[in-house]
Amino acid sequence: MGAVIHPIPSGTRDVLPEEMRELRAITEAMRGVFDEAGYGEVYTPALEHEAVLRTGDAQAARPAYRLFDESGQVLVLRSDMTIPIARVVATRYADVEPPLRLCYVSRAYRAVRPQRGEAREQLQAGIELVGAGAPDGTAEALVLLCRALDAVGLRGYRVGLGSAALYPALLDAAGVTGAARRKLLHELVTRDFVGLEREVRAAGAPEQLLRVPQLRGGPEVLDAAGEAAAGLRELHAQLPDDVAGRVIFDLGLIRDLGYYTGAIFEVYDSALGVPLGGGGRYDDLLGRFGRPLPAVGWGLEVERVHVALVGERR
Amino acid sequence: MSGLTIAVPRGALMRDTLDVLDRIGVDTHEVRANDRKLLFREAGIVTMRPSDVPTYVEAGAADLGITGKDVLREQSEREVVELLDLGYGPCRMVFATQDGEDPAAEALRRLGVMRVATKYPKIAARHFQATGRQAEIVEVKGSVELAPLTGLVEAIVDLTATGITLRENGLVIREELFASTARLIANPVAYRTKAGAIDRVLETLRGG
């Protein structure tokens, strides 16, 4: 007897009860941590106006799926939760005294690259802390990140910590502008240190621009970046020991979304070859929606946390 | 012994790669002695086709890998960290057509499009797009030189070290796209979580 197979799109999947129970255990553990820390859960629509997302990011956080509604407006399936929440804060909490503590457990939608087992639809769990600046707000967000992962039961995770402002500050200090600056940033974004060395030499730029972004390790690596790492040093001083012990400073860390302004972070687990999630400071994003407030947030991909959890226990 | 898993390319880059591994203290005796075996758990070595190296490294099945820049350019969407130019395995990515009057130029002039055979469809497509020429890319898996001789295409884009195979098949190099050498790459997660071990490898290789 053969079952009739009705296909679903590549990169999507059905979740059956056994897996669903395990995913739920993860999201409930995270919700417990969010709740205890005073973060209120919000839900925003999966469909947004493309123009609104574009307000937050020039590429509208690169949505993969666009459609027309019945009146011809362009809608997108959100690829990111941070911009929708920035919109909510600016429109629904316009008169509320900051700080605002919000969290979500929602699905986001991305394009997949073929044959990588990537998902078009991911369950993301995360927080946004609006109206709390650096370093206090960033420290609170990082502590909550570790508490959430601890509550889930993940043991071997590490947090890569860098700053979106660090390399630009080094470029400013070295007076690298225009085309040379764009080339250096391109090599860094594409993680090509052979190319970075070539461009640093071609621009006659100081050796520091090649050496500093390759530094990863404990707080001692911050010394090499001097004044440009002052923000990360202040942040490090605010972290409790157990959280600081999870941190790997990475002075070349870059996130692929354009709205980050300060500290940025990624979560790693040795059981998985890709990051579990990440986040950072976005102090200019709320201003673009008309309510200038500093903010920090992060999101974890629940399915990846699950894979890491299964991998760690194997 | 570095404690790292390293993806090693079989073929032209293998011998030099094993010499590099000797320098960083990996025991390569068993690999050198055994041509059929693919996985050497003790030494932390997995051997594979050069074009598979980015796949294993991106997924984290290997922490480090060694492959040609040609492979990295063709698979530029792979999320790997390019750490070091190892210098060996020098070759060039070239655009070549049959000797005499350039048949590709004639095709472009009279038909508006040329047909190009290659094992590197993305590199070729990007090159002709960047230089404003219409090209129909024909992907082949082996012996690219055969394609223009049989009338399948007017031109090829291929990797060449000495140019001898091209010459023997009556082909001449019309353009050079870029030069390629062996590169050391890392998985982005291992690059952070195993930073110490990876930096020691880099120090040794830069120092020698």
Question: B133 and B168 share a domain?
Answer: yes
Tell me what pLDDT residue A111 has.
Answer: 87
- Rounded CA-CA distance A282/B135 in Å is 44
B84 touches chain A (CB under 8 A): yes
DSSP state string for B110-176: HHS-EEEEES-HHHHHHHHHHTT--EEEEE-SS-TTHHHHTTS-SEEEEEESSSHHHHHTTEEEEEE
- Across the interface, do B183 and A194 touch by the CB < 8 Å criterion? yes
- Rounded CA-CA distance A21/A14 in Å is 14
Nearest to B60 among A113, A250, A272 (CB): A272
B61 touches chain A (CB under 8 A): yes
Q: Which of A187, A198, A269, A274 should we substitute to test contact with B (largest number of B Cβ atoms within 10 Å)?
A: A274
Closest A-chain CA to B80: A191
Across the A:B interface, residue pairs with CB atoms under 8 Å apart total 57
Say yes or no to pLDDT of B208 above 60.
no
Question: B123 and B173 share a domain?
Answer: yes
- Rounded CA-CA distance A86/A286 in Å is 6
Contact between residue B127 and residue B193 where contact means Cβ atoms under 8 Å apart: no
Nearest to B193 among A113, A191, A268 (CB): A268
Average pLDDT over residues B56-62: 96
Tell me what pLDDT residue A303 has.
Answer: 95
Nearest to A275 among B61, B189, B196 (CB): B189
Q: Which of B73, B75, B192 should we substitute to test contact with A (largest number of A Cβ atoms within 10 Å)?
A: B192
Question: B138 and B117 share a domain?
Answer: yes
B190 in a structural domain: yes
Contact between residue A56 and residue A87 where contact means Cβ atoms under 8 Å apart: yes
Which residues in B lie closer than 8 A to residue A217 (C-beta atoms)? 195-196
Sign, Cα dihedral of A57, A58, A59, A60:
positive
Cα–chain center distance at A11: 21
How many CA atoms, within 13 angstroms, populate the side-chain half-sphere of residue A4? Answer: 1
B114 in a structural domain: yes
SS3 content of chain A, % helix, strand, coil (to 5): 45, 20, 35
Sign, Cα dihedral of B199, B204, B207, B208:
negative
B1 in a structural domain: no
B99 in a structural domain: yes
Question: B85 and B186 share a domain?
Answer: yes
Question: B123 and B189 share a domain?
Answer: no
- Rounded CA-CA distance B7/B35 in Å is 15
B135 in a structural domain: yes
Closest B-chain CA to A267: B189
- Across the interface, do B60 and A268 touch by the CB < 8 Å criterion? no
Nearest to B193 among A191, A248, A274 (CB): A248
What are chain A's domains? Answer: 17-161+272-313 (3.30.930.10)
Give the domain range for residue B68: 6-89+181-207
Which residues in A lie closer than 8 A to residue B190 (C-beta atoms)? 273
Say yes or no to pLDDT of B81 above 60.
yes
Contact between residue A118 and residue A74 where contact means Cβ atoms under 8 Å apart: no
Which residues in B lie closer than 8 A to residue A248 (C-beta atoms)? 192-193, 195
Q: Which of A154, A193, A264, A266 should we substitute to test contact with B (largest number of B Cβ atoms within 10 Å)?
A: A193
Q: Smallest CA–CA separation between B11 and chain A, in Å? A: 23
Q: How confident is the prediction for chain B on average, in pLDDT?
A: 95
Both structure tokens of B13: 């880059």
B153 in a structural domain: yes
Residue at token pair 């993940």? A154
Question: B96 and B160 share a domain?
Answer: yes
Q: Count of domains in chain B? A: 2
B57 in a structural domain: yes
Question: B117 and B80 share a domain?
Answer: no
B187 touches chain A (CB under 8 A): yes
Question: B96 and B137 share a domain?
Answer: yes
The list of chain A residues with pLDDT below 70 reads 1, 60
Closest B-chain CA to A256: B79
Tell me what pLDDT residue A186 has.
Answer: 94
Nearest to A270 among B61, B83, B193 (CB): B193
| Residues from A in contact with B at Cβ < 8 Å | 113, 116, 158, 160, 190-195, 216-217, 248, 250, 266, 268-270, 272-275
Residue at token pair 């290789």? B205
Question: B98 and B171 share a domain?
Answer: yes
- Across the interface, do A273 and B59 touch by the CB < 8 Å criterion? yes
Question: B170 and B185 share a domain?
Answer: no
pLDDT class of B1 with cuts at 50, 70, 90: very low
The CATH number assigned to the domain holding B171 equals 3.40.190.10
- Across the interface, do B85 and A194 touch by the CB < 8 Å criterion? yes
Instruction: Tell me the backbone φ, ψ of residue A130, rounded to 5 degrees.
Output: -105, 130
End-to-end CA distance of chain A: 34
Question: B84 and B187 share a domain?
Answer: yes
- Across the interface, do B188 and A158 touch by the CB < 8 Å criterion? no
Question: B138 and B197 share a domain?
Answer: no
